[in-house]
Amino acid sequence: MKLFGHLYAPDDRGLCLVTVEEGRIAAIEPAEPGTEPADAIGGPNDRILPGLLDIQINGAFGDDFADPAARMDVICRDMPRFGVTGFVPTIVTSAPKVYGPALANLAPRSRPGEAAVLGVHIEGPYISPAHKGTHDPAQLRLPDIREAATWLESGSVLWFTLAPELPGALELIEFLVRNGVRVSMGHTDATWEQARAAADAGATMATHLFNAMRPFRHRDPGVAGFALANPLRADFIADGNHIAFETIRLMARAKAPDDLILVTDALAGLGMPPGRYWLGGREYVSDGTCGRLPDGTLSGSLLPLNRALRNLVVECGFEVPTAVACVTTNPARALGLEEELGRVEVGRTADLTVVDENWDVQATISRGGLAYGAAAEVSR
């Protein structure tokens, strides 16, 4: 298999011919317009990117990941439509009985020709009632190491979002970090000092920066200010609803480029028509761009990752390599997966996305198999 286009690996390599053999990248060769093989995927106006990674996504194609019946075969097959070759499903705040079956259903999987499940993100139930967002208030509870330990037995929990100001949170952070789980601050009313205590305990990330957290104020910067001023990795949503594009520009000036991670925080309505769907047992309404509870409370996004990536470049003024890193190398590094994911290099697993000038996905190659594109659609 050969791909032809402008390669962002994510660094700018110019026009290239990329050869895939036996599931891995066999060669990367500089090229000139008009020299592409007749059977190559892409063209001189297309971009070749590392496979996109979405490390915070609540559901897709009608299914919620907090539901143990979520159809992972369908979701893994169809996520490459958006250029995604790997994702981390989120289990939001749920009843205790939900976690075991949901974690079993979300077991990591990696198959050629479909998006890989890289592990699981647990968001809640140890979050602030003041910033619960659309999480079920009836299921919020204080940090419990014994409960969290049962979730870790699945071996699939990659990262965990909690409110560090809650009683017992610092002890839980230390426990999670000792067990190889990344910890993020989110859905939180934490002050700067409480955020610093969490970082000292081992927290390294902030979840959907500015959303569902103590507002930034000039005399009370809170966890958002702490995340901007310190080397925490911060994920954010670029759908134009959750935070203003101008705020993303501010973030990009304050944060090191390697610390920014673009996520969709997508809901079950991703890839579906507007309508009513479920998140953690609560019904929300999708308007096709974002979800809201019936009372208007903002929930997650419904913008596919490739379109959010376009927003970084077109609406926020990011240089293309910086924008691409936000959905490839940066999330891979944040979760300790950088040895295999997030870059286009000879010898690496062939996870690749080809987009056109408008960032629409033309082809997705996952684990060396064509997961999305004309030939893949014909074979299905």
pLDDT at 380 over 80: no
pLDDT of residue 93: 98
Q: For the residues 230-255, what does the mean pLDDT come to? A: 97
Question: Per-residue pLDDT tens for 145-156?
Answer: 999 999 999 999
Return the higher-pLDDT residue of 379 and 252: 252
Please confirm, yes or no, whether 144 is among the known catalytic residues.
no
Question: Per-residue pLDDT tens for 39-59?
Answer: 999 999 999 999 999 999 999
pLDDT at 83 over 50: yes
β-bridge mates for residue 370, sequence order = 365
pLDDT at 379 over 50: no
Half-sphere exposure of 351 (CA within 13 A, CB side): 29
pLDDT at 296 over 70: yes
Q: Confidence class of residue 71 from pLDDT cuts 50, 70 and 90?
A: very high
Q: For the residues 65-73, what does the mean pLDDT come to? A: 97
- Where is 116: in which H helix or E strand? strand 116-117
pLDDT at 378 over 70: no
The rounded distance, in Å, linking the Cα atoms of 325 and 342 is 8
Query: Which residue in 197, 298, 313, 190 sits closest to 245, CA to CA?
Result: 313
pLDDT at 284 over 50: yes
pLDDT at 377 over 90: no
Q: Is residue 145 within 8 Å of residue 168, measured between CB atoms? A: yes
pLDDT at 374 over 50: yes
pLDDT of residue 376: 63
Q: Is residue 73 within 8 Å of residue 61, measured between CB atoms? A: no
Q: Confidence class of residue 271 from pLDDT cuts 50, 70 and 90?
A: very high
Q: What structural domains does the chain harbor?
A: 2-49+344-379 (2.30.40.10), 52-334 (3.20.20.140)
- Percent of the chain at pLDDT exceeding 70: 98
Given the residues 54, 67, 265, 351, the one annotated as active site: 265
The rounded distance, in Å, linking the Cα atoms of 318 and 378 is 36
Q: Tokens 């892409």 — which residue? A: 42
The rounded distance, in Å, linking the Cα atoms of 229 and 218 is 13
Q: For the residues 250-258, what does the mean pLDDT come to? A: 96
Question: Per-residue pLDDT tens for 171-225?
Answer: 999 999 999 999 999 999 999 999 999 999 999 999 999 999 999 999 999 999 9
Lowest mean pLDDT among 43-57, 130-144, 245-259, 366-380: 366-380
pLDDT at 282 over 70: yes
Kindly report the average pLDDT of the chain as a whole number: 96
